[in-house]
Structure 1
Amino acid sequence: VNALAFSRDGLYLAAGGYGRVRVYDAHGAATPAVVVSEFTKNVNTLGFNDTGSWMFAGSEDRVAKIIDWREGGNLWITRVYQTSSSINSMLLHRNQHEIIMSTSNGEIIFWDLRNNAANSIFPDPEGGPIHSLSIDPDVTSLASVNSSGQLIVWSLNGNSVWKPLERHRCRVHPTYALKVQFSPDSTLLATCGADGKFKILKTADFSVVTCQKVSPSGLHWVWDCAFSADSRFLLTATSDGTARLWNLETGEVPVEYKGHQRAITCMAFRDQSLS
């Protein structure tokens, strides 16, 4: 499993794997309600629109697709966009008609679903693959992280993401930065990486307020992270097979989630108070 995402109402959970997307009833059986077998390689990223009536997904086969689906019914691929390299991350703008995606050749693509047109930028030509993107809840900032550990943040203007204005750039990890995530209150930005650490930055001035080694050895990659609804806790997923809930005020771990025998490379966290 390479990617997980809940629908906005929490009724469905989508999982991206090799060549397909499986959609499960989040409160039902382990058998998927819908299987989308429309890809030829790993599906790296996916998500739902606000109403849950369609999905977006991107794959190593360099194709992004919009999938209109109904439980137990037919599937329609309503939009397709071909990129020049593997798609690593996709986001849906709050306006519900613009997709932002990042690729392994360091490109960020802005895809307008209304006319199937796209624009793109190469923010760090020497930085390698862009692994993760995040838009803050206020829809005023876009952030990316890449294989060189570089964090770039842009300001967004109006009801569109095209023509972002670069606001900040810094190296947050010495090697691969794997995930970037804004907090629900838009005041914090979390990054995690192959150096076994996560960092918390203030969005006001991008000062680092937390730099935390996640596993006892510090040798395990931190693949994914997510904030709680009140922005006081951070959940991390690590290659030691453990997910940890961090109290950001104290640095303590009140809960560890164990049981996986291998690396946890992705997760979906839906805080009920966010619904």
Structure 2
Amino acid sequence: MSVILCTAGYDHTIRFWEALSGICSRTLQHPDSQVNRLCITPDKRYLAAAGHTNVKLYDIKSSNPNPVMNFEGHSNNITGVAFHCEGRWMVTSSEDCTVKVWDTRSGGLQRNYVHKAPVNDVVIHPNQGELISGDRAGTVRVWDLGDSVCTHQLIPEDDVAVSSVSVASDGSLLCAGNKKGNVYIWRMIQDANVTRIVPITTFQAHKDYLTRVLLSPDVKHLATCSADHTAKIWNLDPLYPPAVAAAAAPPSASKLNSITKPNGTLSNGSGTPASASSLTLRSASSDLAASDFSMLGSQSPNSVAAAAAAAASAQQAAFPTQPDGPPMDETSHTLFLETTLAGHQRWVWDCAFSADSAYLVTVSSDHYARLWELASGTIIRQYSGHHRGSVCVALNDYSEPR
């Protein structure tokens, strides 16, 4: 199974899809509750399905329809799930205001971290030693697994729920989105085993509730999903033609495209305001394996003319601001709306990038999952079978286990 693609939602089923044909190859029943989140182990052996109060672990390569392990301990909806790079442990977040770390071999609870509000999402830093979670009170917390403490507390907008968080595959960037549609991006810097978190930029991605933010494997794109029925792809690559043009343009011209940014508070775990720095967004250099989706067609680069046309329409540059200070160097901090994926008829809840960052799968309350080619912004495949809202998706098309 070179490509594993599965979706789930409110019809109490988990569906596995043949990514290229769009055929549903397998359906698992999840009678306990709706499925809120899905996650595939890096070795492609197991699928975790997070429901109301438990996480069920299914054997992907087996025909057994029953879970091989059940993780119980949360007392409310589980909102996030992620695996250690070798699958030895799993982290979950929940509306019961906790983040829990589980031993996937024994099923035992290893860590329990408490927020002051329901937790909406959690991710694992690539260093495998830190967790990042976001809650409904508007707080993003960084947890050190070694010392079992919260080392950083970020409050982008006080009392505005953080709906989703994402960390770059190389650990360089941290991103959070909130219910007002605003996105915050920080740079994560390792200094002598101490992580510094520096604010880079803030912008409004959607005018309606933002449900998911996700950085691409190549760290050149950011996907955002929303209640406005769309997903959007934001380009972080400084070599993207509109970014190059903005950098070369006089400051007065580049300011015309700036996005108004909401006020925010940034602090570390002790409450000390975080300092801003004029660091540029840079693409990551990684050796990720080529995606098996490449057989769908190659990703052709945007032409300068097409990029200029896109920039002239809905694409805008977002520049960082220092807390209580003037804007930083505008020409070195451009972030452009590259593509708006419009086609779903209701809320878009979740998304997943292909390994080569050329494709995106989205799921929606309209019951459908869709595969998009990002270079053209077109729908390549549509997956139809859920009879209620599809709210979560998991995709692993890496040619080798991560």
User: Normalised by the shorter chain, which TM-score bucket?
Assistant: over 0.9
Alignment of 1:176-187 (within 5 A): 176-187=209-220
Equivalent positions of 1:76-225 (< 5 A) are 76-118=108-150, 119-125=152-158, 128-158=160-190, 162-204=195-237, 205-215=334-344, 219-225=345-351
CA–CA distance in 1 between the matches of 2:127 and 2:359?
28
Per the alignment, residue 73 of structure 2 pairs with 38
**Contact residue 110 and residue 162 of structure 1 kept, 8 A:** no
Q: How many residues align?
A: 268
Report the secondary structure of 2:211's partner residue.
strand
**Higher percent of residues as helix:** 2
Deviation at 1:267, TM superposition (A): 1.1
Which amino acid counterpart does residue 343 of structure 2 have in structure 1? V
Quote how far apart the aligned CAs of 1:95 are. 1.4
Percent identical among aligned pairs is 33
Tell me which residue corresponds to 2:49: 15
In structure 1, what is the Cα distance between the partners aligned to 2:377 and 2:156? 33
CA contact (8 A) 1:110 1:161 kept: no
Q: Any conservation in 1 of the 2:127–2:171 contact (CA below 8 Å)?
A: no
Q: Which residue of 2 aligns with 1:269?
A: 395
Alpha-carbon displacement from aligned partner over 1:42-90 (angstroms, at most 9, x marks no partner): 11111111111111111111111111132xxx43211111111111111
Alignment of 1:39-58 (within 5 A): 39-58=74-93
Q: Show structure 1 runs of 5+ residues with no match.
A: none
- More strand by proportion, 1 or 2? 1
Whether contact under 8 Å (1:179, 1:192) holds in the other structure is yes
Q: Displacement, 1:111?
A: 0.7
If the length of structure 2 is used for normalisation, what is the TM-score?
0.64
- Does the 8 A contact of 1:90 with 1:102 survive in 2? yes
Mean alpha-carbon deviation: is it higher for 203-212 or for 26-35? 203-212
Contact 1:198 1:214 in 2 (8 A): no
Structure 2: distance between partners of 1:65 and 1:123:
24
Residue-by-residue CA offset, 1:137-160 (whole Å, 9 max, x unaligned): 222111111100001111110277
Aligned residue for 1:66? 101
The secondary structure found in structure 1 opposite 2:233 is strand
Find the aligned partners of 1:268 and 1:161 in 2 and give their Cα distance.
32
Following superposition, the deviation at residue 186 of structure 1 comes to: 1.2
The TM-score normalised by the length of structure 1 is: 0.93
Deviations 1:88-141 (A, max 9, x none): 111111111110000111100111111111031211115x21111111122211
* Equivalent position amino acid for 1:35 in 2: N
Q: CA RMSD in A?
A: 1.5
Amino acid corresponding to residue 54 of structure 2 in structure 1: R
Deviations for 1:225-252, whole angstroms, at most 9, x for unmatched residues? 1111121111111110100001112222
- 1:14 and 1:123, CA in 2 relative to 1: closer, same or farther beyond 3 A? same
Matched, 1:239 2:365: yes
Q: Deviations over 1:160-197 (max 9, x none)?
A: 78431111100010011111111111111111100011
Deviation of residue 274 (structure 1)? Answer: 6.2
How far apart, CA to CA, are the structure 2 residues paired with 1:14 and 1:231? 23
CA contact (8 A) 1:104 1:130 kept: yes
Cα distance in structure 1, aligned partners of 2:337 and 2:399: 27
Please give the secondary structure, in 2, of the residue aligned with 1:179. strand
In structure 2, C-alpha distance between the alignment counterparts of 1:69 and 1:171, rounded to whole Å: 38
Q: For the residues of structure 1 that align with 2:99 and 2:119, how far apart are their CA atoms?
A: 7
Structure 1 position 272, deviation (Å): 3.1
**2 CA distance for matches of 1:86 and 1:161?**
28
5+ residue gaps, structure 2, are: 1-34, 238-333
